[in-house]
Amino acid sequence: MFSKFFGSKPPVKNVAQPQRVAPRVSVPVRPKVIIDDTQDLNSGEDTKNQSQSATGANDVLCSYAEIGNVRKNLTAVGDGAVYAINANLQDQIAALDKGDKKVWLICNSEPTITTQEMSGHIRQLTGALRSRGYQVAMVVKALPQVMTEVAKAGTHQISGPTDGRGEPLELFNRWVDAAAAVLASDLHILIYSNQASVKVRVDGSLEPLKIDANGIYARGTAISAIAAGFNYATRGSGSAASQYTESVAVDCMIEREINGKTVLLRYQNMPAPPGGKEYGPKVVIRLLQSEATGVVGNFEHAGYSQSHCKLWRLSSRAGKGMTIVSGVTGSGKSTSLKIYIETLPDLEKKAVETIEDPIEYVIAPGKVHQGQVTRDLSSHEETRKRYGVAMKALMRADIDAVLVGEVRDDITARFLLQVAETGHLGMCSLHAHLISNIVPRLTNEEVGLSRQELTSPQILNLLVYQALVPLLCKHCNLSTQEASRLETEGEISEICHVLKDRLEIQIDNLRWKNPMGCSHCDGRGTKGRTMVAEMWMPDREWLSHVRNGCDYEALMHYRSFSDGDFNSPNMTGKTVFEHALFKSLQGIIDVRNCEEFEGFERYEKFDQIKFSREKIEKQNRI
């Protein structure tokens, strides 16, 4: 059978490599079936049929991605091998468990062993598999470089070259370059079982990295690359944490120059859980490429409304208290704080300091002094001491404003509060959803500030909640009629019904994402992102409600300043849902993005808020 499959002697190795084009969707290509699982590999009964099938099959696996998901390499060196193959034969033949006791038997298309030796291994391997209840679903050929990756995936080790095109660090750099080329905000490398998937976040959504085999790599290849990226960045540090380990959470900042521009990479490893090799680590790399993305310079360009921009200006002129920018991960908080600092009035006449962990952006070079306090992950008290030293130095440094970076615990929260209490402008980012949740977040057990402290005079300067939503592609977005013809679940007609009947909104200008996209948006249907936000400069009544724990009443007070017009660009007193709805009514974002912030059925209309406020005021008079 093998002689018919490969010919009477090993083929010449000078075979032109087929050009591979990554498919649009990350669905593994199913190889051509060469031997059906109903055939008996050990009997002579079907040998003729098998030989004919093999002879007629010219297809070979050209990339590791074509193998798809594999539970285990049953011929790998080590525990769990069904059939022990010498290490020097690992790239010649392999049996891969595809689940449900189905096995793919893969042979090198350019073997370095004789036909007789290969046939003997196939017969013995097939018998060993069947004795353990496995069924050979198919036998396929694979190019030598694919077999090399199969062998690495089976060993689960960090070693050697990555994919036949260079060393691990070169592969890591290619991932970063490819991510930067599509203006990705993040790069995700997920290790699972014996392989890895590499994805990028573009316009807020994850998609496969469109290089090599649509972002699919052998486990060993990917781990080699992520280890090389970390080890190279931390070389020379002399600490134990400077070497990548799958089971340890490590992070670092990496500086790269891409197309003549400096890009900072925030590297974060999430360790593999204990208990076997079915699971693996995950690395997420944030690309901080402000110059490339264009979401810098001024707030209006970023997508804030004129009324929002006015609040930014008013708070910067106040010059004291806390300016807190909240949002989920990847919502542009650091970018907004960078713009805020760089647009402070008379910046060149101010002493502005930053205390960050880590430093993400270069802010106003020559005008702002940036510092870093590195946390000691093993000692909370040591971290507290480091921030104490930094605060003592700041209080002697004749400061005007301080950026504290991210408030994530009692240490950073107290640091920010002390800046505000001493009459300075303090700025920070915060993971909180909506401005109504900023105070509850700052007063929970983890952060530990009190409502009394936060509602003291001139402590809270400006509260911001922001999010980034994808902009519709100008060339392929759809009208409501066009989008309705493409959908199958009735979602669009349902949303339109609620908008017209419940919210009394004219939907003539609504535009929808084209699920197929076009050449201008690279098939995404979106191109770029825009900011949606809600902002508030606390007044006395709002502070009184918050001090008394009446957060809903504080929210209603904030919303009472709204003009109640969905089509009005004035965002005073309006929620982030209403800002997103306004942009959808202008036809620049898909209205379905509004539901990230509030469901259309649950949304409280302005007249309901007004009625609730009047009812509370009446009860207070009684």
The pLDDT confidence band at residue 10, using thresholds 50, 70 and 90, is very low
Among 227-236, 263-272, 464-473, 538-547, the minimum mean pLDDT is found in: 227-236
Closest CA to 614 of 571, 540, 560: 560
Residue 349: the pLDDT is 95
Find all residues with CB under 8 Å of 7, minimum gap 6, and list them: none
State how far Cα 581 lies from the chain centre: 25
Q: Look up residue 99 and give its two tokens.
A: 């689940």
Q: Mean pLDDT across the stretch 289-301?
A: 62
Task: Give CA–CA dist 69/99, Å, rounded.
Answer: 9
Examine the domain organization and report whether 487 and 510 are in the same domain. yes
Residue with tokens 């493409």: 486
384 lies in some domain: yes
Residue 276: the pLDDT is 61
Closest CA to 218 of 77, 69, 78: 69
Residue 554, domain CATH: 3.40.50.300
Is the confidence at residue 98, as pLDDT, over 80?
A: no
Q: Which amino acid is at 494?
A: E
Alpha helices (runs of H) in 462-597, residue ranges in sequence order: 480-486, 491-501, 540-547, 551-559, 576-585
Q: Mean pLDDT across the stretch 28-53?
A: 37
Q: Look up residue 618 and give its two tokens.
A: 């009446």
51 lies in some domain: yes
Q: Which amino acid is at 269?
A: N
Residue 247: the pLDDT is 86
Cis bond before residue 358 (omega within 30° of 0): yes
Boundary (domain end) residue, out of 154, 182, 203:
154
Examine the domain organization and report whether 64 and 202 are in the same domain. no
Rounded to 5 degrees, what are φ and ψ at 292?
-75, -35
Task: Give CA–CA dist 200/196, Å, rounded.
Answer: 13
Is the confidence at residue 5, as pLDDT, over 70?
A: no
129 lies in some domain: yes
Is the confidence at residue 522, as pLDDT, over 50?
A: yes
90 lies in some domain: yes
Among 10-24, 49-63, 241-255, 295-309, the minimum mean pLDDT is found in: 10-24
Is the confidence at residue 150, as pLDDT, over 90?
A: no
Residue 212, domain CATH: 3.30.450.90
The pLDDT confidence band at residue 295, using thresholds 50, 70 and 90, is very low
Task: Give CA–CA dist 402/415, Å, rounded.
Answer: 10
Find all residues with CB under 8 Å of 23, minimum gap 6, and list them: 29, 214
Task: Give CA–CA dist 311/302, Å, rounded.
Answer: 15
State how far Cα 619 lies from the chain centre: 48
Is the confidence at residue 454, as pLDDT, over 60?
A: yes
Q: Look up residue 15 and give its two tokens.
A: 């075979």
Count of C-beta atoms within a 10 Å radius of residue 566: 18
The pLDDT confidence band at residue 277, using thresholds 50, 70 and 90, is low
Examine the domain organization and report whether 205 and 85 are in the same domain. no
Task: Give CA–CA dist 571/535, Å, rounded.
Answer: 9
Closest CA to 418 of 323, 489, 534, 321: 321
Task: Give CA–CA dist 436/464, Å, rounded.
Answer: 10
Examine the domain organization and report whether 191 and 139 are in the same domain. no
To the nearest 10°, the Cα dihedral for 443, 449, 454, 458?
-150
Mean pLDDT of the chain: 83
161 lies in some domain: no
Residue 24: the pLDDT is 35
Examine the domain organization and report whether 52 and 144 are in the same domain. yes
Residue 9: the pLDDT is 42
Burial of 32 (0-12, 13-18, 19+ CB in 10 A): middle
Residue with tokens 């600490």: 239
Find all residues with CB under 8 Å of 496, minimum gap 6, and list them: 480, 507, 510
pLDDT cut 70: percent of the chain above it: 81
Is the confidence at residue 259, as pLDDT, over 60?
A: yes
159 lies in some domain: no
Side-chain-side CA neighbours of 373 within 13 Å: the count stands at: 25
Task: Give CA–CA dist 52/239, Å, rounded.
Answer: 61
The pTM assigned to this predicted structure is 0.71
Examine the domain organization and report whether 386 and 237 are in the same domain. no
Among 178-192, 373-387, 489-503, 601-615, the minimum mean pLDDT is found in: 601-615
The pLDDT confidence band at residue 59, using thresholds 50, 70 and 90, is confident
Alpha helices (runs of H) in 156-305, residue ranges in sequence order: 168-181, 219-233, 290-293, 299-302
Alpha helices (runs of H) in 422-571, residue ranges in sequence order: 438-442, 451-454, 480-486, 491-501, 540-547, 551-559
Examine the domain organization and report whether 539 and 500 are in the same domain. yes
Residue 610: the pLDDT is 56
Question: What domain range is 335 assigned to?
Answer: 299-621
User: Which position has the higher pLDDT, 50 or 422?
Assistant: 422
Q: What is the DSSP letter of 112?
A: S
Say if CB 287 and CB 179 are below 8 A apart: yes
Put residue 560 in one of left, alpha, beta given phi > 0 → left and psi -120 to 50 → alpha: alpha
284 lies in some domain: yes
Say if CB 567 and CB 578 are below 8 A apart: no
Closest CA to 168 of 180, 158, 176, 157: 158
For residue range 566-596, what is the model confidence (pLDDT) as tens digits?
999 999 999 999 999 999 999 999 999 999 9
Examine the domain organization and report whether 150 and 248 are in the same domain. no
For residue range 155-178, what is the model confidence (pLDDT) as tens digits?
443 333 333 334 789 899 999 999
Say if CB 64 and CB 216 are below 8 A apart: yes
Examine the domain organization and report whether 426 and 539 are in the same domain. yes
Question: Mapping DSSP to helix (H, G, I), strand (E, B) and coil, where does residue 532 land?
Answer: strand
Compute and round to an integer the Cα radius of gyration of the chain: 30
Examine the domain organization and report whether 282 and 361 are in the same domain. no
Considering its fold, how many domains does the chain have in total? 3
Count of C-beta atoms within a 10 Å radius of residue 241: 15
Q: Mean pLDDT across the stretch 465-479?
A: 97
Task: Taking the CA atoms of 613, 616, 618 and 620 in sequence, report the sign of the dihedral they define.
Answer: negative
Q: Mean pLDDT across the stretch 100-106?
A: 86
Return the bridge partners of 208, or none.
Answer: 199
Residue 589: the pLDDT is 98
Is the confidence at residue 256, as pLDDT, over 50?
A: yes
pLDDT cut 90: percent of the chain above it: 54
600 lies in some domain: yes
Which run of H or E residues covers position 414? helix 410-421
State how far Cα 107 lies from the chain centre: 37
Boundary (domain end) residue, out of 292, 312, 342:
292
For residue range 423-435, what is the model confidence (pLDDT) as tens digits?
999 999 999 999 9
Boundary (domain end) residue, out of 267, 292, 317:
292
Examine the domain organization and report whether 238 and 348 are in the same domain. no
Examine the domain organization and report whether 403 and 516 are in the same domain. yes
Q: Mean pLDDT across the stretch 126-152?
A: 86
Question: Mapping DSSP to helix (H, G, I), strand (E, B) and coil, where does residue 447 land?
Answer: coil
Beta strand 261-270 pairing with 135-142? unpaired
